């Protein structure tokens, strides 16, 4: 009996194959119809839809399999690696006014035209890492390949966009339509016709795919707004951008995703750091003990012990002991091994000794954020 992991034609795998078919058509069409690249954008869009549906179907029907995982990565390399690279290659040909790629071209033009291959190589690295990185279950590390592909696949649509379709929006917002129309046309003609518009973007997106930067995913484990605030915010903002600016908004949405991911990652890092400090502070008193021994002749020995703790606590406690030793030399007799600092206090009773030790250490301990110190009483000979 064939294992479920080895079945070819499960519904999720069929959906993945449909996505691969869309991406393959996009590649063929881009190669043979460089003057109609907007059609290629549509097929990459179909591949994006199928990429979402295959995972959704697998989770819904509980048909996740190893072969499905590998098939999905192979399809993604074509759909979101090769296809956007071919689109960018054709756009660079137009920018350089080159009819066909040849090794007879000037060296600088050859390198410029081959630059989009970097997208394929880095997409392959990104997908390979994703397959083995167990940290990327509910979020991503590095820019997902579909986001990169969406950006470059949208370029032909932006390049051929008719700004006249936005006139209703401009009139509604009471903005001068002609001025905005001229700006969009200027973007399409002067910016997007330049090779120096595409080359930096190729390098930036290639690096973003493999950089170790956390990026949120659009997988919702629940509909709780607080837990999914960044996802809901992104989707709402994207909806309004696309509604207002149509295909012009697609690159903006990708940049919005990158900036929000960076902001969210920084916020999470600061929260984790703050939580770490809180946890460290909550355990700080556990790392510092004052132990009073009860010897003869009314002499009491207070031991301040540094327990094995984290590096932060260890360092802080060592500073505390150094200050106590420096400021109260008359109380000090010796420093024992094992991170013990022994203080001898002359007193007529245990209570008085405890009070005097507290007075000695109070100011220093409070300065370091310690208000309560544990006193462990034990008998010992001085």
Give yes or no for residue 176 having a pLDDT over 90.
no
Q: What is the mean pLDDT of the chain?
A: 77
pTM of the model: 0.69
Give yes or no for residue 78 having a pLDDT over 70.
yes
Give yes or no for residue 248 having a pLDDT over 90.
no
Which residues share a beta bridge with 306? 288
What pLDDT is stored for residue 335 in this prediction? 42
Can you tell me the distance from the alpha carbon of 308 to that of 314, in angstroms, rounded to the nearest whole number? 7
What pLDDT is stored for residue 22 in this prediction? 96
3-state secondary structure of 341: strand
- Indicate the class that CATH gives domain 285-378: alpha beta
> DSSP assignment, residue 190?
I
Lowest mean pLDDT among 162-171, 266-275, 280-289, 327-336: 280-289
- Report the percentage of the chain scoring pLDDT > 70: 62
Does 4-219 match 285-378 in CATH topology?
no
23 compared with 337, residue with greater pLDDT: 23
* Cβ atoms 59, 72 nearer than 8 A: no
Closest CA to 327 of 293, 372, 359, 292: 359
Give yes or no for residue 348 having a pLDDT over 90.
no
What pLDDT is stored for residue 266 in this prediction? 84
What pLDDT is stored for residue 207 in this prediction? 95
Residue 89's φ and ψ, nearest 5 degrees, are -60, -45
What pLDDT is stored for residue 119 in this prediction? 96
> DSSP assignment, residue 292?
E
Give yes or no for residue 303 having a pLDDT over 60.
no
Q: What is the mean pLDDT of residues 80-95?
A: 95
Residue ranges covered by each domain of the chain: 4-219, 285-378
- Indicate the class that CATH gives domain 4-219: mainly alpha
3-state secondary structure of 335: strand
Highest mean pLDDT among 136-140, 255-259, 315-319: 255-259
Give residue-wise pLDDT tens across range 180-231: 666 666 666 567 788 899 999 999 999 999 998 888 888 766 677 777 888 8
Q: What is the mean pLDDT of residues 16-42?
A: 94
Q: What is the mean pLDDT of residues 149-167?
A: 85
Which residues share a beta bridge with 290? 304, 375
Highest mean pLDDT among 32-36, 117-121, 355-359, 373-377: 117-121
What pLDDT is stored for residue 317 in this prediction? 66
């Amino acid at each position: 009996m064939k294992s479920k992991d080895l079945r070819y034609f499960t519904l999720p795998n069929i959906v993945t194959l449909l996505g691969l078919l869309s991406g393959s058509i996009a590649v063929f069409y881009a190669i043979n119809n460089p003057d109609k690249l907007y059609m290629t954008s549509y097929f990459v869009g179909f591949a994006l839809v199928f990429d979402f549906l295959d995972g959704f179907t697998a989770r819904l029907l509980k048909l996740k399999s190893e072969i499905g995982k590998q098939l999905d990565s192979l399809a993604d390399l074509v759909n979101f690696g090769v296809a956007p690279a071919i689109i960018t290659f054709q756009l660079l040909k137009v920018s350089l006014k080159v009819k066909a790629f040849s090794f007879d071209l000037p060296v600088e033009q050859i390198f410029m035209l081959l630059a989009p291959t970097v997208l394929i190589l880095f997409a392959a690295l990104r997908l390979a890492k994703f397959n083995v990185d167990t940290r990327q279950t509910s979020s991503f590390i590095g820019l997902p390949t579909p986001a990169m592909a969406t950006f470059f696949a949208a370029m032909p649509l932006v390049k051929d966009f008719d700004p006249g379709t936005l006139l209703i929006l401009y009139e509604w917002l009471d903005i001068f339509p002609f001025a905005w129309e001229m700006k969009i046309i200027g973007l399409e003609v002067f910016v997007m016709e330049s090779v120096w518009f595409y080359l930096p973007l190729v390098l930036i997106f290639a690096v973003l795919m493999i950089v170790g930067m956390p990026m949120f995913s659009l997988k919702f484990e629940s509909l709780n707004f607080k837990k999914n605030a960044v996802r809901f915010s992104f989707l709402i903002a994207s909806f309004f951008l696309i509604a207002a600016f149509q295909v012009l908004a697609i690159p903006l949405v990708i940049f919005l995703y990158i900036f929000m991911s960076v902001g969210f990652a920084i916020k999470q890092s600061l929260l984790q750091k703050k939580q770490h400090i809180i946890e460290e502070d909550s355990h700080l008193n556990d790392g510092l003990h004052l132990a009073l021994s009860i010897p003869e002749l009314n002499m009491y020995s207070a031991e301040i012990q540094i327990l094995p703790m984290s590096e932060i606590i260890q360092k802080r406690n060592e500073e505390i002991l150094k200050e106590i030793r420096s400021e109260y030399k008359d109380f000090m007799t010796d420093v024992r091994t094992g991170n013990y600092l022994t203080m001898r206090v002359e007193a007529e009773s245990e209570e008085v000794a405890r009070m005097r030790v507290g007075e000695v250490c109070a100011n220093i301990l409070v300065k370091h954020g310690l208000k309560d110190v544990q006193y462990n009483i034990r008998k010992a000979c001085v």
